[in-house]
Structure 1
Amino acid sequence: MIKLITFDLDNTLWNADPVLINAEKVLYQWLQENCPEMASRYNIKAMGDYKAAIAADNPELLHRVSALRLEALRRAMLDSGYDEAIAYQQAKQAFDVFHAARQQVTLFEHAERLLQGLSQRYQMAALTNGNADVSIIGLDRYFNFALSADEIGRQKPHPDMFYAALERAKVRADEVIHIGDHPEQDIMGAYRAGLHTIWVNFDALPWREGIACEASTEESISEAPTTPSAVANCLSEIPKLICEIENSTVK
């Protein structure tokens, strides 16, 4: 019997790309108005390159997107001539501006109705590598808890986030279905942790082609499951797929 449903957030329940692009623009506008020295030194692309360089030099930040962005902003403030105290203060304000804009999402069709229906039958958890916050977005009423890579210290597909969800919900791996769009981070990661999986595949890609598009290495591809437990081309298909997985597990 399935007892817990875990959901990825970005690109599973909403399109993350326009959200993040807009958040970067909102952040840069704030910097132009409040930190013109930094804004004149770093445009949006330059800030992205700067952040990537810091991640490369600080692997402990690779799995913590909020901490990485805050550190990049702080260092950029210092490089732009701000002293230490003001640099941190301004960086924190800038991050808060970005973080608020990052929560302005538009849910995919069927997403909220899906969450509402499932939350009446199962424990629900949000598992994200990013810093989307279901409490700010207004979806926390559907989730029993949410876990992020910032909190866990490891991004999916590393199993730590999945294991933390099992411990939090007091369930076994075979009592959980993870639902997500990313073949490696979501489906392969959950599979390795022993969970059932539903691949949200809006583009109707063949499974092997989807892996080839998203997996980071050939070794990752070779470790992938033959197929996910189920594939959803539309969020409205998920309740039926969950029932099919449940029926297949009944002995």
Structure 2
Amino acid sequence: MTFAPDASRNPAPAGIKAVCLDLDETLLDGERASRTALRELLGTDRAWPVWQRVTDQHYARYLTGEVGFDTMCVERTQAFFAAFGETLGGAEAARREARRMAAMQRAWRLFDDVRPCLDWLAASGLKLAVVTNAPGDYQRAKLGALGLAADFDAVVVSGDIGIAKPDPRIFRAACERLDLPPGEVVHVGDRLGADAQGAARAGLHGVWLNRNGEPGENADVPTITGLDELPELLVADLVLGTACGPDHLLAAR
């Protein structure tokens, strides 16, 4: 993949020094891995919409601190099978979750646009960080398995600091670790509210990575459909020195 950004289309704000990236569904193709794991567990992934709904419900409980991650995983599995009329005890739910988790980890893969984008960003002299919601050990294991452990100047995980996106404090924590003010940092992620808008509220330049073409009527931030579009979004400032001021949103749509 070769980047050939058109600087005339997408001016970026002056003085960008770093890019933060979400992990799941931004760098890691988590849906593909989760679907693969569900097929191994059930023989089909036709129940994927139910898994998504149950996951959203139970993951929200983890993010608010209501339950720990391991407990959440077991209770999610129980709730998923209960939706189909099967009641699981804790031990059986844990066994099935362990099988699903192992299958998912074997299926972890980067999106095709990740490696070229990271190489371009690093070659441009930008600092790089990951900002992600999940347990710290779990997310760092993903980075290691994906060959990304050495790519980032900072890794900020909600499970380590007790603050989850979209709380502005997690984005500001990333800026502190990068030793940069928020106005010099871009954050890119697949969740409009939790990533792009959350980062913007913290004073960063939020960018929504809308890989699936979701409706974005309330997208008051720049939108890209793949990381191969990110260099073009940034190149006016990084290469040509074009500026639109640190208080302006990026102009791409």
TM class by shorter chain equals 0.5 to 0.7
Per-residue deviation, residues 124-157 of structure 1 (Å, max 9, x unmatched): 1111224542122211222122222222323211
C-alpha separation between the residues in 1 aligned to 2:56 and 2:63?
Answer: 10
Is 1:210 aligned with 2:216?
yes
Give yes or no for the alignment of 1:115 onto 2:154.
Answer: no
Structure with the largest fraction of helix: 1
Change in CA separation of 1:70 and 1:169 when aligned onto 2, cut-off 3 Å: farther
Tell me the CA shift for residue 51 of structure 1. 10
Residue 7 of structure 1 is matched in structure 2 by 21
Contact 2:58 2:76 in 1 (8 A): no
Name whichever of 120-129 and 196-205 sits farther off: 196-205
Contact kept? 1:5, 1:177, Cα under 8 Å: yes
Distance in structure 2 (CA, Å) of the matches to 1:149 and 1:126: 11
- Bigger relative contact order (CA 8 A; separation at least 6): 2
Structure 2 match to 1:105: 108
How far off is 1:117 after superposition? Answer: 1.9
State the percentage of identical aligned residues. 27
1:24 and 1:97 mapped to 2: Cα distance?
7
TM-score (norm 2): 0.64
The whole-number CA distance in structure 2 between the counterparts of 1:11 and 1:184 is 14
Distance 1:172 1:196 in 2: 11
Aligned match of 2:65? 60
Query: What TM-score, normalized to structure 1?
Result: 0.64
Could you tell me which runs of 5 or more consecutive residues in structure 2 were left unpaired when the two chains were aligned. 1-14, 44-49, 78-87, 247-253
Conserved? CA contact 1:204–1:233, under 8 Å = yes
Question: How many residues are treated as equivalent by the alignment?
Answer: 212
Equivalent-residue separation in structure 2 for 1:185 and 1:117 (angstroms): 25
Where structure 1 has 5 or more consecutive residues not aligned to the other structure, the ranges are 30-44, 74-78, 213-223
**For 2:151 and 2:59, how far apart are their aligned partners in 1?**
36
Is the Cα contact below 8 Å between 1:24 and 1:98 reproduced in 2? no
Superposed counterparts of 1:137-148, under 5 Å:
137-148=146-157
Residue 242 in structure 1 maps to residue 234 in structure 2: yes
Structure 1 residue 22, shift from structure 2 partner: 2.8
Q: 1:93 to 1:169 in 2, by over 3 A?
A: farther
Return the match for 2:145 from 127, 131, 136: 136
Distance 1:58 1:156 in 2: 9
- In 2 relative to 1, CA 199–100 (structure 1 residues): closer, same or farther, beyond 3 Å? same
Contact (CA 8 Å) 1:178, 1:186: kept in 2 or not?
yes
Partner of 1:23: 37
Aligned to 1:171: 180
Change beyond 3 A, Cα 1:7–1:186: same
Stretches (4+) displaced over 6 A: 70-73
- Looking at structure 2, the residues matched to 136 and 177 of structure 1 have their Cα atoms a distance apart, in angstroms, of 25
1:155 maps to 164
